[in-house]
Amino acid sequence: MKVAVFSDTFDQINGVAITYKHLVEYAQKNNLQIDIYTQGEMIDTVEQLGSARVFRFKPSLPLKFYSELYFDLRLPNRRILKRVKQEGYDLIHSAALGSMGVNAMLIAKRLNIPLVGSYNTDIPKYIYPRVEKQLRFTGKTIPKLISKPLEKLAWKYIKAYFRRCDLTLTISEYNKVILEKLIKKEVGIFSRGVDTETFNPAKRSLEFRQKHNEVLAVYVGRVSLEKNLEILVDVFNKRPEVKLVVVGDGPFRGEMEKRMKNAYFTGPIYNRDQLAMIYASADFFVFPSETETFGQVVTESLASGLPSIVSDKGATGEQIVQGETGFIFSSREDLEEAMDMLSNSSRIRHEMGLKAREYALTRTWDSVFNQLIVNYRSLIRTQAPQKQIISIPETRATSAINV
């Protein structure tokens, strides 16, 4: 079995990228032929990682639409098409809805290769916070009027995309219900695991705690408005005795850093051991995002022995046992009550932290990927396609990668 996985963000720091990096490790360990196709910057490259490879393609006609993300306006990318045709894959798995995802869909259909699509990001819910930020001076009415048609358009795109997939997977029951209603097809679960050796309470650092000797909360993730971080600015400024450690970067970081009275901003952390140390050295985790389709950082925090506070909107609450491994809040008052309870009682933090760790130990990456491989093989058997070889005219844009 030979599989190509397409991702827009493989080289970034987010839950989706972390998942597919673990998939590459799993492929190496089990000698599976799984290749990653993602965007590159300067030139097309290939990285060999045991039985797996990472192909990075420079966009042909890039349009920057968000921070370091680009949409390639020339679709399908003929260099990618040529490479996929040469490799002879049994299955294509799209983990993207940007231009790499469109490439995956177009190429799979053109070469008659079974297509798996993963729904990882709640794109429609990202629209309003960004529109509102740009048009904040106009009040709330105009951003809402502009956002609504854009959100409808996003849902139409998602529906059209996944109706073209032979198998659709998502990462939580919350999203499974939404997608099945939208595309009128059965949707499977491709959940997430956690590395409980790396993310471990034993990584706690006395040196770090000596530098930050207050009650310590931690947020890990993109520092952007769609993560609902405004609420943290307000509630932590009312509690200067509790320090917030913010791990990550994004367009809201500068403003958030200026406004917060007692916070430490680490910037992005690429070293997992360093990240694990910060988790384990904190007292509790707080994650107010309302747009998550899963929330990988929540699982990492639980593995690190931290009680976690999450929103009741989105899918993060599926990982929390209310009052045992953390708290699920539905209002600012709920959030403040949970913070005060954890801030004021080391006994409660300790008891909930033990239960959080116990839960995380049941979520291994191997079990997640074992089920994914079962899904791959089942789809290949049921589709059993007769691949059609497409003639691709030779142009400058179709030169192969030098491997």
Q: Does residue 400 lie within any of the structural domains? A: no
Q: Does residue 30 lie within any of the structural domains? A: yes
Same domain, 273 and 341: yes
CATH no. for residue 138? 3.40.50.2000
Same domain, 308 and 369: no
Same domain, 11 and 70: yes
pLDDT digits (tens, 9 = 90+) for 217-246: 999 999 988 899 999 999 999 999 999 999
Same domain, 382 and 264: no
pLDDT digits (tens, 9 = 90+) for 332-367: 999 999 999 999 999 999 999 999 999 999 999 999
Q: Report in angstroms the alpha-carbon separations of 281 from 200, 310, 356, 363, 384.
A: 10, 19, 15, 22, 51
Give the pLDDT of residue 76.
92
Same domain, 130 and 7: yes
Same domain, 251 and 379: no
Instruction: For residue 398, name the pLDDT band (cuts at 50, 70, 90).
Output: very low
What span, in angstroms and rounded, lies between the C-alpha atoms of 36 and 246?
A: 30
Same domain, 316 and 380: no
Out of 14-18, 32-36, 87-91, 125-129, pick the least confident.
Answer: 125-129
Give the pLDDT of residue 397.
34
Range of the structural domain that residue 324 is part of: 201-360
Which pTM value belongs to this model?
A: 0.79
Backbone angles phi, psi at 56, to 5 degrees: -115, 125
Give the pLDDT of residue 65.
64
Same domain, 147 and 17: yes
Q: Does residue 126 lie within any of the structural domains? A: yes
Q: Does residue 401 lie within any of the structural domains? A: no
Q: What is the mean pLDDT of the segment spanning 260-287?
A: 96
If one counts the domains in the chain, the total is: 2
Residue 40 in contact with residue 56, Cβ under 8 Å?
yes
Same domain, 123 and 48: yes
Same domain, 147 and 210: no
Q: Does residue 402 lie within any of the structural domains? A: no
**pLDDT, the chain, mean:** 90
Give the pLDDT of residue 181.
96
Q: How many CA atoms lie within 13 A of 169 on its CB side?
A: 22
Q: What is the 3-state secondary structure (H, E, C) of 52-118?
A: EEEEEECCCCEEEEECCEEEECCCCCHHHHHHHHHHCCCEEEECCCCHHHHHHHHHHHHHCCCEEEE
| Residue 187: partners with Cβ closer than 8 Å, 6 or more residues away | 119, 168, 169, 170, 175, 176, 179, 180
Same domain, 224 and 369: no
